[in-house]
Structure 1
């Protein structure tokens, strides 16, 4: 018989409430879910995963915030974003021009990454949200609504507008002592866009959306393929380890000032920030670019090894470590965005210019492969009492 678990405050729910069955995303436990009062949530009884959180008029809030975020994203494009001046020369950019500079300077990979993570994917997600939710305000469910919703869930981890914004702030602090920096109206529009999108995700609930569009609320999980999951995760982790070596040995950024060229590695940049007195920024970069990638690789290796050996101890502890790696993994992209912003902004010819080093590409690949490794790891294996064959 399915398990039934919600917050203790849900005990007053009457037996007349309507129930549905959901399968936990992380452990495949089937849970009999009642109607949930406002501002309450239902947790999986096995692993504690948040199955759903009820917000009064939650989808209406998501719709309103998505529309606001989309308008602000469009407003952040045409106007000046940042300007930089030194020794009588100045350079200003908007978001599109900054990406164009990366392409024109033959840094297409960085340009494509920035365009995709901060403009294309967020814009697509917001448009898809509105396509789903605006008709729902009139009780209309569009065709293929379930497939559109699934695409949104798949793309959300790769939308990194908030990480880019932190990268911009770090960049400004890095170069504030070298030149005059001015912030344009597009910067403020982008800040408001990021806040609206973050607020939208606070109200966005996968289960509530699926119920609204009648998209297979029960969602029977795919069969577990332990061997494929474990082998894929090992391959991605091994690749990330190989990439992590050049990412830390090679220069991530090369600065040219009056004919003098200075190359800096990730660790070198952290040391320079610390020596200049920017202690909070140095700590943020050290955590995001050094500790997080190493920690994520070590934790995923441990998790993958334990499920391969069929361990059944410390399941709650293991799932908590997995959730931590999944949450923090994206934030390692801060350093990549810092490099992309500085390259776009600081192009003053022989006076001063910045170019990305090969480590920026290697480190970007480390972040992507570790994110893919976390996604390929099947958390349901933690809860299954079966030994996986050694391959």
Structure 2
């Protein structure tokens, strides 16, 4: 069996344990013995695969822009959209911030991440460390969690199910190109082992995370509480105000998130209703509750269930961005359904509030220092 590299020592960023890892075989992973965080993995030709998928994703991204994305037909009228059209309509409706957020999440950030992966993988495979390699490494690590192309693709499929009862929808070439883009982006990230690349960049030893002190622990707890409080306050208008308005023959029909779930359920679209319920209702509430519980336990120095709490923390990191599905549904429907007084869709004020809930909870997960689960704050030095 092919092995990779010599034994290395990595400091776990989630519990601050120093772990010596032997050479790994193909498809092996090294987990932290304390918190079970994924430290290192190895796949034969992993960086070659990551590079190939990244280049393919960039190619598909270029193809997804110039052609029709979706075509909407109703009562003899037809309207087609490009991805850029949906952004332009949001801007025309004075939702510039929502257009910027959507563009960043599904186009700009994924593009930057892919360029960084291409740059870093090429350097790794040719064993050339460019002066900017470490900056690109930090950028890819930071932005990969904010890349939401696959979430947008799921949101598109949900929006199609919502409108099939109103009209006929067909796919353009850009739709299939975007599927290829999202799929290749995901596979590129799966094969991209950030820690292994970091060991190469830093010549066998990853830089240690900043140590925890009493001051940094207090700041982490206070910031997390502030962000969770803000998210809880924003969650109220996000669920009580309309997330979109549908104008049908001059009549305005506002729709809230819960109202959309109920409508989908009553129409028989049970799987889609459950997806929206989980992503837009249960996940945000669950994330706020879990992070609040974790912050409370570290503030009051709980010592039980450390591994369970660490698993819940990783869960909040993994699922948080999927709540953006409903926001992307609005973005697609606003750009797609534009037939004047016959039928048109407009964004509602809840769209921005819900966006803010998702982002604030994601930042709260970042500000929460998971090492406090394992470290006794009373024993820390200032």
Matched with 1:240 is 231
- Which deviates more, 90-99 or 235-244? 90-99
Matched with 1:319 is 310
After TM superposition, list the pairs within 5 Å mapping 1:56-95 onto structure 2: 56-95=44-83
Q: Secondary structure at the match of 1:137?
A: helix
Matched with 1:3 is none
Distance 1:178 1:193 in 2: 29
Distance 1:206 1:130 in 2: 13
**TM-score of the aligned structures, taking structure 2 as reference length:** 0.95
Tell whether 2:335 aligns with 1:344: yes
Matched with 1:123 is 111
Matched with 2:289 is 298
1:197 to 170, 174, 185: 185
After TM superposition, list the pairs within 5 Å mapping 1:210-229 onto structure 2: 210-214=198-202, 217-224=205-212, 225-229=216-220
Deviation at 1:387, TM superposition (A): 4.0
Distance 1:283 1:387 in 2: 44
Deviation at 1:47, TM superposition (A): 0.5
Q: Secondary structure at the match of 1:77?
A: coil
Tell whether 2:256 aligns with 1:265: yes
Matched with 1:5 is none
**TM-score of the aligned structures, taking structure 1 as reference length:** 0.93
Q: Is the 8 A contact 2:65 2:84 kept in 1?
A: yes
Distance 2:94 2:379 in 1: 46
Q: Is the 8 A contact 2:8 2:204 kept in 1?
A: no
Deviation at 1:348, TM superposition (A): 1.1
Deviation at 1:294, TM superposition (A): 0.6
Distance 2:76 2:129 in 1: 58
After TM superposition, list the pairs within 5 Å mapping 1:146-185 onto structure 2: 146-185=134-173
Distance 1:137 1:291 in 2: 43
Matched with 1:252 is 243
Distance 1:212 1:31 in 2: 17
Q: Is the 8 A contact 2:198 2:206 kept in 1?
A: no
Deviation at 1:136, TM superposition (A): 3.1
Q: Provide structure 1 residue ranges, at least 5 long, that are not aligned to the other structure.
A: 1-8
Distance 2:234 2:344 in 1: 27
Matched with 1:4 is none
Q: Is the 8 A contact 1:102 1:340 kept in 2?
A: yes
Distance 1:216 1:157 in 2: 25
Deviation at 1:216, TM superposition (A): 6.5
Matched with 1:31 is 19
Matched with 2:300 is 309
Deviation at 1:211, TM superposition (A): 2.5
Distance 2:346 2:379 in 1: 47
Q: Secondary structure at the match of 2:19?
A: strand
Deviation at 1:135, TM superposition (A): 3.3
2:375 to 346, 366, 384: 384
Matched with 2:357 is 366
Q: Over the residues paired in the alignment, what is the CA RMSD in angstroms?
A: 1.8
Deviation at 1:104, TM superposition (A): 2.0
Q: Provide structure 2 residue ranges, at least 5 long, that are not aligned to the other structure.
A: none
Q: Provide runs of 4+ in structure 1 moved above 4 Å.
A: none
Deviation track 1:67-112 (CA, whole Å, cap 9, x = no partner) reads 0111011110001100111122211111112212211222212211
Matched with 2:33 is 45
Distance 1:238 1:64 in 2: 43
Distance 1:109 1:38 in 2: 45
Matched with 2:278 is 287
